[in-house]
Amino acid sequence: MANATPWRSVVALIAAGAAVLGATVSAHADEQFSFTAEKYSQIPFGTAQADVWEQLGGDLTKPGDGDGWCERSSASILCFTESADYAPYGTFAFTADGKLWGKNQQYLFNAKTPSIRLSHYNKVTVGMTEDQLWSVVPKDSCVLRQEAYPNWPATSGKKLMFGCTAATGLFPPNASFYLTDGKVAEKYQARLT
C-alpha cells in the first residue's frame, strides 16, 4: 500500500496537467472572431497595420466564415461582420510605412432618423462649411462613411464623406456629401424626392 500512494500522486499530477492543457486549448477554441462598429471606431489613425490586424482579431478569421472575417494586403485591411450579401464591413487604408490614414464603412452605422429630402440636398452648395451643411441637412439622416488623412501624419487635406438616407432598408434614396478640410467639395444624390 505504501507504493500505491506515489502512483496515485503521479496519476493525479497527470490528470491535473491534462485539465489545465484542456482548459487552455478550450479557451483558444472558444475564441471567435467578431467585427463590430465599436471595433471599427476604436482604432485610431496612425496605428501600425500589424496592431490593427491584432486588435481586429484578423488571425481568428477565415474567408467565408459565417461569423465574419478579415483579409489584408500591403495597403489595406477589409473586415466583414458576417459572410452574407450586403454584410456590414469596414476598410482600413495604410500609408507606405504601414500607418492607418483612412477608414471607410458600409452598413456598420445607421442614420438615427432617415429623412433627407431633395429640398435639403438642393440647399447644399460646394464650399459650404460643415456647420453650414448641418444647418440645411438633418444631421440625424446621415452617418460618417469615410474619414481620411491623405497627407498623414499631417492632418491637412482631411477628407470626410457623409452618407445620408431618406428611409430605412436596402438601397434607399440617398445623398453623399464629400468634405475636404471642413468644406463641401462634392455632392451626389440618388432617387431623392
pLDDT mean over 144-168 = 97
Cα angle for residues 5, 11, 14 (degrees, 5° grid): 140
SS3 assignment, position 84: coil
pLDDT at 68 over 50: yes
Cell numbers linked to 11: 496519476
> What pLDDT does residue 57 have?
92
CA angle centred on 73, ends 71 and 76, rounded to 5°: 85
Name which of 90, 116, 102 is nearest 176 in CA terms.
116
Average pLDDT value for residue range 115-135 = 98
Q: How confident is the model at residue 9 (pLDDT cuts 50, 70, 90)?
A: very low
* Dihedral angle, C-alpha 138, 118, 188, 184, nearest 10 °: -50
Say if CB 159 and CB 132 are below 8 A apart: no
State the pLDDT at residue 45: 98
Q: Give the H or E element holding residue 5.
A: helix 4-30
Residue 46 CB neighbour total at 10 angstroms: 12
Kindly list the distances between the CA atom of residue 126 and the CA atoms of 78, 120, 157, 173, 179, in Å, as whole numbers in the listed order.
Answer: 31, 14, 16, 21, 9
Q: What is the DSSP letter of 138?
A: -
Q: How confident is the model at residue 64 (pLDDT cuts 50, 70, 90)?
A: low
Of the pLDDT bands very low, low, confident and very high (cuts 50, 70, 90), residue 31 is: low
Beta strands 100-106 and 142-148, pairing class: antiparallel
Confidence band for 84, pLDDT divided at 50, 70 and 90: confident
The contacts of residue 47 (CB under 8 Å, 6+ apart) are 55, 99, 100
